[in-house]
Amino acid sequence: MRKVHHPKIVQQSDRRWVVVCEDCERNEKSAMPIGINTPVNSREKAELMWENHCELRRSALRRGS
Ligand SMILES: [Zn+2]
């Protein structure tokens, strides 16, 4: 069964941005991917990490792995 991830970009109270993924948090067996749950100073960086996380998902689907 394939896992579908739904990462979210949230702004912390210190105005930094963080990408969170409940699907990764639920998956206790595998490590948290780079960038997830890591606060960054710019929204652009957060959006990049968010895209990368979606990209990972898409290429995995394309390869069928
Ligand atoms: Zn995830």
Expressed in angstroms and rounded, the spacing between residue 36 Cα and the centre of ligand 1 is 8
Rounded to an integer, what distance in angstroms lies between the CA atom of residue 25 and that of residue 15? 23
Assess if residue 58 is contained within a domain: yes
Expressed in angstroms and rounded, the spacing between residue 27 Cα and the centre of ligand 1 is 9
Domain that holds residue 15: 8-63
What is the band of 1 on the pLDDT scale with cuts at 50, 70, 90? very low
Query: Helical H runs in 9-42?
Result: 22-26
Assess if residue 53 is contained within a domain: yes
Assess if residue 3 is contained within a domain: no
Assess if residue 36 is contained within a domain: yes
Expressed in angstroms and rounded, the spacing between residue 15 Cα and the centre of ligand 1 is 23
Q: Could you tell me if 9 and 62 are in contact, meaning their C-beta atoms sit under 8 angstroms apart? A: no
Q: What Cα–Cα distance (Å) separates residue 49 from each residue in 1, 22, 30, 42?
A: 25, 15, 18, 11
Name residues with Cβ closer than 5 Å to ligand 1, which is an ion.
5, 21, 23-24
Q: What is the mean pLDDT of residues 31-57?
A: 88
Assess if residue 1 is contained within a domain: no
Phi, psi of 2 (to 5 degrees): -85, 140
Q: Is the dihedral of CA 25, 49, 5, 18 positive or negative?
A: positive
* Domains contained in the chain, number: 1
Expressed in angstroms and rounded, the spacing between residue 14 Cα and the centre of ligand 1 is 24
What is the band of 31 on the pLDDT scale with cuts at 50, 70, 90? confident
